[in-house]
Structure 1
Amino acid sequence: MLVIKEFHFNPFSENTYVISDSETGECAIIDAGCYYADEQDILSGYIIDNNLKVKYLLATHLHLDHNFGDRHVYNTFNVGLTAHPDDAFLLDNMKEQASMFGIQLQDPPIPIDHNVHENDIFKIGKYSLRAIHVPGHSPGSIIYYCKEEKIAFGGDVLFRGSIGRTDLPGGNYNQLITGIREKLFILPEDTVIYSGHGPSTTIGFEKKQNPYLQ
């Protein structure tokens, strides 16, 4: 069974996910947004208490609210960051991003350890996640799609009834809308999208109800 654990972390109320194969204990952390020490303890405590083996630290994109906990994950589980190289510039100015929101970063962000590209496959036990590149919210935004379970982890690309912001550095509205229509709306309508903020949604609901995509 594929187990999905959702956490809500940091002042931006970001969604962090741990997905694991119940048979092998292998897991992936998607968007380690844990900022405060107690949040970091909650994340690592869940993994340790359930005897999980962290195989991947996957970033849907490299905005600061989705990556506060990357260094903690690396220090605790010795797993490097997997992200799209087109977002690497966001790591370089993360300290400046944080100061704009009155947030102090204790340490510089860890660099990308493994570059992810379109159609890369990540195996977690018997399950597979396929990378789908949908730029527009950020240049390197990635969806991690599990076909057999009909689920996808979409970061800030697509929300229930909304889409990701495109007014941030590297954002592009037309690119985002095109990517959603051409790459996500071809997925089965009952595919569940686990977003980077807020509740989950489905492809079918967004095709019918999302005002940005009619």
Structure 2
Amino acid sequence: MIQVQTFTFNPFSENTYVLYDETKKAVIIDPGCHNYEERKELKDFIDNQRLTVIHLLNTHAHIDHVLGNEYVKRTFGVKLHLHEKDTPILQNAEERAAFYGFPNYEGSEVDIFIEEGDIIKFGNSELEVLFVPGHAPGHVAFVNREENICVSGDVLFKQSVGRTDFPMCSFEDLENSIRTKLYKLNDEMVIFPGHGGITTIGYEKKNNPFVKG
């Protein structure tokens, strides 16, 4: 069974996730840890739980989700997985970091490009990649259908959706991703978003004011 540990990091209150199962194999999704205290909190949890991190996954490459990428790669010896269409955003991250006041940002390179339908395995568990562009051109979500877990990044929030006023964003694409990908998941599917608290697909289909189910 997959366990989900949530950390809320950086001034953007970004959710970083560690997923692991009974084998103690783990993946880190969207490490937003940007200073010593946040990085220590993440590492202490992994050490205390005796986890072995085997993958680093990004839902997308906006700066608040990638601040800890290079730290995680270096500390745990893992490879970064990202959709190829978000490469330009990752390449621009250093400029965005300076703009938002993160002078110590360390850039990172993509090691493995992921796309719709890919399966990320860790221990006895796996995550399916869904391509859900709109908030970012290469945005993906990571889903385990058996356990009703969906790490959705910044596509769908509780009674809200991701912003589309950034460069390379599209509300039309975002709405299509939610309707044709996320809203096709089980109503019991739990959404672990990039910001804020968890929700479910069933709740959002009924109550989301931006995209009704």
Letter in 2 for 1:122: I
- Distance of 1:101 and 1:114 partners within structure 2: 27
Q: 2:116 aligns to what SS in structure 1?
A: coil
CA drift of 1:102 comes to 2.5
Q: Does 1:137 align with 2:131?
A: no
- Counterparts of 1:21-32 in structure 2, within 5 Å, are 21-22=21-22, 24-32=23-31
- Distance of 1:130 and 1:161 partners within structure 2: 24
Residue in structure 1 matched with residue 104 of structure 2 by the alignment: 105
**Unaligned regions of 5+ residues in structure 1, if any?**
none
- Distance of 2:94 and 2:16 partners within structure 1: 21
- Counterparts of 1:138-153 in structure 2, within 5 Å, are 138-153=136-151
The answer to whether the 8 A contact 2:34-2:105 is kept is no
Residue in structure 2 matched with residue 63 of structure 1 by the alignment: 62
CA drift of 1:130 comes to 0.2
Letter in 2 for 1:7: F
Residue in structure 2 matched with residue 34 of structure 1 by the alignment: 33
- Distance of 2:52 and 2:98 partners within structure 1: 34
CA drift of 1:7 comes to 0.3
- Counterparts of 1:1-214 in structure 2, within 5 Å, are 1-22=1-22, 24-107=23-106, 109-214=107-212
The share of aligned pairs that are identical, in percent, is 43
CA drift of 1:103 comes to 2.5
TM-score by length of 2: 0.97
Q: Cα RMSD over matched residues?
A: 1.0
The answer to whether the 8 A contact 1:95-1:105 is kept is no
- Taking structure 1 as reference, are residues 89 and 105 closer, same or farther at Cα in structure 2, changes over 3 Å only? farther
The answer to whether the 8 A contact 1:127-1:148 is kept is no
Single out whichever of 94-103 and 27-36 deviates more from structure 2. 94-103
- Distance of 2:121 and 2:101 partners within structure 1: 38
The answer to whether the 8 A contact 2:19-2:26 is kept is yes
Q: 1:132 aligns to what SS in structure 2?
A: strand
**Unaligned regions of 5+ residues in structure 2, if any?**
none
CA drift of 1:90 comes to 1.1
- Distance of 1:2 and 1:102 partners within structure 2: 35
Letter in 2 for 1:8: T
CA drift of 1:100 comes to 2.3
- Distance of 2:167 and 2:189 partners within structure 1: 30
Q: 2:111 aligns to what SS in structure 1?
A: strand
Letter in 1 for 2:147: E
Single out whichever of 47-56 and 10-19 deviates more from structure 2. 47-56
Single out whichever of 58-67 and 40-49 deviates more from structure 2. 40-49
Give CA deviations for 1:38-65 in whole Å, capped at 9, x if unaligned.
Answer: 1111111111121111111010100010
Letter in 1 for 2:91: D
Q: 2:67 aligns to what SS in structure 1?
A: coil
Q: Which runs of 4+ in 1 moved over 3 A?
A: none
- Distance of 1:11 and 1:196 partners within structure 2: 13
CA drift of 1:189 comes to 0.3
- Taking structure 1 as reference, are residues 39 and 181 closer, same or farther at Cα in structure 2, changes over 3 Å only? same
